[in-house]
Amino acid sequence: MRTDRDFGFTEEQLLLRDSVRDFVRKEMPDEYARRCDREKIAPLDVFDKMAELGWMGVAIPQEYGGSGLGFVELGIIQEELSYGLLELAILFYRATVHGAHSLLTYGTEEQRRKYLPLIAAGKFKSSMSLTEPNAGSDAAGVQTRAVRDGDHYIINGAKVFNSQIDIADRTVLVTRTDPDVAQHKGISLFFVDPKSPGVTIERIDTLCFRSVGTNRVTYENVRVHKDDLLGELNGGWKNLMTNLNKERFSLSAQVTGAAQAAMDCALQYAKDRVQFGKPIANFQVIQHKLADMQIAVHTSRMLTYDLARRLDAGVTCRKEASVAKVFTSEAYFRVADEGMQILGGYSMTPDFPMERHYRDARLMRIGGGASEVMRNSIAKDLGL
């Protein structure tokens, strides 16, 4: 039977959603999600099973081995994967959106033919290496240098919070190739193999996102062939910007699924937990918290799929992408925080997923563009 959550999707999209949902219930149950977080296990086994089902190629054109579907489908998959474990959805996202869409939007035909079929088959993982110790929100301030040397570029520098690079086949490395022009005009992207000599990767101990995790990376005289330049020389910044809306969309879909999971957990707990002679769900203040959570999740989902349809239609949507990212990530945090309050002391234990949601949700207000940066961007789009 279809419910209110089905409105607006085609039958095919609902079938896709149901199959991802079944897959997640089976392959990423709570116990496994907990183990991934606690024991720092990247769920690559689940990734491989997804690849066998062909989901990695969902938004890659058919000519490159994908199924040529769009952002609504990408959103559905990410939302449902995230219901099981946020980092599973992110693993999927980094493989399909970061890598594939970088190639699709600014790769050469040769690069596309070389990598996209592998990505679609799930045999290739990529990563994005942008943030540096002194270039976070001010991303155009990257200092990692790439200097031409014959057919190669020699790369030196340091990146931080580089997630998934330790398991990636290639990373989109953001470098400075011209230090003498305005900072956003001297940036170039390379598609670099992290196993190249001179690359050192060190895991960072963090509060959250401990399954796939994040890293500090140094590049010491790393040689990269000129054919691995992505897009035109010194044109990297513009290319990076084209993918930001897709990133914000993906994060919105992910936090929506995770927020739904946190809310479902709190709802079940409120019904089960008896205090003062009745389930705490009978108390109005708990009911109102759950109502607020429902409002947050519902609004997040609407913003996410509205953005998906804009991306599919190819209309300008920078403002909408920023709105969705800031709203959905803050909504997820509110849901997790109220979830903590509803679960009381038990929220602190790994017997329930709430403490993981609470930790993970906290990063979503920072990563992928901090809330403050989103608001700056919205203000700019308002002409301020």
Give CA 312 to chain center in angstroms: 18
Measured CA to CA, the distance from residue 243 to residue 225 in angstroms comes to 24
Minimum CB separation from other proteins for residue 355, in Å? 4
8 touches other proteins by CB under 8 A: no
Binders of other proteins among residues 11 to 50 (CB under 8 A) are none
Q: Find the part of the chain contacting other proteins (CB under 8 A) among 147-155, 201-209, 224-232, 250-258.
A: 201-209
Give CA 281 to chain center in angstroms: 33
365 touches other proteins by CB under 8 A: yes
Minimum CB separation from other proteins for residue 158, in Å? 14
Minimum CB separation from other proteins for residue 379, in Å? 10
Going 27 to 33 to 39 to 40, the CA torsion angle's sign is: positive
The nearer residue to other proteins, 220 or 351, going by C-beta atoms, is 351
196 touches other proteins by CB under 8 A: no
Binders of other proteins among residues 126 to 155 (CB under 8 A) are 131, 134, 136-138, 141
Please enumerate in sequence order all residues whose Cβ is within 8 A of that of 50, keeping only pairs 6 or more positions apart, or say none: 23, 56, 81, 92, 122
46, 119, 208, 224: residue in contact with other proteins (rule CB under 8 A): 208
204 touches other proteins by CB under 8 A: yes
Q: Residue 371, SS3? A: helix
Q: Find the part of the chain contacting other proteins (CB under 8 A) among 78-86, 248-256, 275-283, 318-326.
A: 275-283
Binders of other proteins among residues 316 to 355 (CB under 8 A) are 340-341, 344-345, 347-350, 355
288, 313, 372, 380: residue in contact with other proteins (rule CB under 8 A): 372
70 touches other proteins by CB under 8 A: no
The nearer residue to other proteins, 7 or 276, going by C-beta atoms, is 276
Burial label for 178, CB within 10 Å (0-12, 13-18, 19+), is: middle
The nearer residue to other proteins, 241 or 285, going by C-beta atoms, is 285
User: Which pair of tokens denotes residue 74?
Assistant: 């990408």
Q: Find the part of the chain contacting other proteins (CB under 8 A) among 102-110, 112-120, 122-130, 364-372.
A: 364-372
197 touches other proteins by CB under 8 A: no
Question: 358 near 339, Cβ under 8 Å?
Answer: yes
User: Which pair of tokens denotes residue 158?
Assistant: 């340091």
Please enumerate in sequence order all residues whose Cβ is within 8 A of that of 120, keeping only pairs 6 or more positions apart, or say none: 54, 56, 57, 60, 64, 65, 66, 100
276 touches other proteins by CB under 8 A: yes
Please enumerate in sequence order all residues whose Cβ is within 8 A of that of 21, keeping only pairs 6 or more positions apart, or say none: 80, 83
Of the candidates 249, 258, 290, the one whose C-alpha atom is nearest the C-alpha of residue 361 is 258
Q: Which helix (H) or strand (E) holds 322?
A: helix 318-343
The binding site for other proteins (CB under 8 A) comprises 131, 134, 136-138, 141, 160-161, 204-209, 274-276, 283-285, 340-341, 344-345, 347-350, 355, 358-359, 362-363, 365-367, 370-372, 375-376
